[in-house]
Amino acid sequence: MFESRRNRPDSVPVVNTFRIPTASMDVDTRSAGRYVRSGVISMLLCALVFACCFAIGRAERPAAAPAERLPPSLPSVSAGTAIPVALSGAPPIRVIQVKARTTVTQTASQSVLRATPIASSLPASLAPAAAAIPAPAVKAPIVKTPVRSTPESSNGSTGGTSTPPAAKGVSSPNGKPATKSETSSSTSFDSSG
């Protein structure tokens, strides 16, 4: 081995004892550099992860609680039992009996109109009796029947109490009998709101 070294053109004596420490220093330097590089990479990774998670948290914040908002002093759920905000819907009020009576009133009113000369000349006090004529009587052009105190129709109306509506309908302020719209509006009560 020595001979071979001597035959080299640039025969510089190299002793193994010098080479070993040199190699050790190179390894340490490379290792230290690797550690530094790993540290830097780790720190950058940490910064990246922090930034990403910060962005995620910031993006989720408006959905959970709006940014830049004053927090409520008391959540509404802690206000106790719920108070109904409105009365629940109820079925409309309907007066069946009055409907029947009013229908008769309208028919009778029409009969009064048809029985022109005599019926229209009846005094107002008699008009209620005319209003009590049942529907079939309208077809027969006999207008004296009301005056003969024809009994109440058999639709369940009570005798004396039937007069006020008929009288009111016939002797309305404008002198006209109860109109159809008046009749229909008074038949049902829809106050369900």
Partner 1 sequence: MDGSRRSLPRVVIPVLVVVAIIGYLVGIHRSSAPSAPAVGEVLHVASGASVLLEYPSSWQSATTPPAFPGLTVADPLLLAPGGRPAEAGLLSGQFPAGAPSPLPASFVGLVHGVPDVEVVSLAHLQAYRFSRLSGYQRTLDVYVIPTVGGNPTALVCYAPSGSSSYLAQCERIVASVTLVGQSTYNLSPSAAYAGQLGALISALNKERLTLRRQIRSSTAAHDLSGLATTLADRFASAATSLTALEPPQAASAAQAALATALTEAHSAYTALASAAAAEASAGYSTTETQVSAAESAVNSALENFALLGYNHT
Q: Could you tell me if 130 and 146 are in contact, meaning their C-beta atoms sit under 8 angstroms apart?
A: yes
Q: Give the per-residue contact string, 11-30, with partner 1 (x = CB under 8 A; - = no).
A: --------------------
Out of 9, 13, 72, 159, name the contact with partner 1 by CB under 8 A: 72
C-beta closer to partner 1: residue 5 or 34: 34
Distance CA 9, CA 5 (A): 9
Bridge partners (DSSP) of residue 94 are 188
User: Which of 36, 116, 164, 180 is close enough to bind partner 1 by CB under 8 A?
Assistant: 164
Q: Which is nearer to partner 1, 125 or 161 (CB)?
A: 161
Report whether 104 contacts 135 (CB < 8 A): yes
CB of 100 to partner 1, least distance (A): 10
Strands 188-189 and 93-94: antiparallel
Q: Which two tokens stand for residue 49?
A: 């992860």
Query: How many C-beta atoms lie closer than 10 Å to residue 187's C-beta?
Result: 16
Q: How many residues bind partner 1 (CB under 8 A)?
A: 67
Is 166 in contact with 132 (CB distance < 8 Å)? yes
Contact residues toward partner 1 (CB under 8 A) are 31, 38, 42, 45-46, 49-61, 64, 66-74, 76-88, 90-98, 101-102, 105, 158, 161-162, 164-165, 168-169, 185-186, 189-193
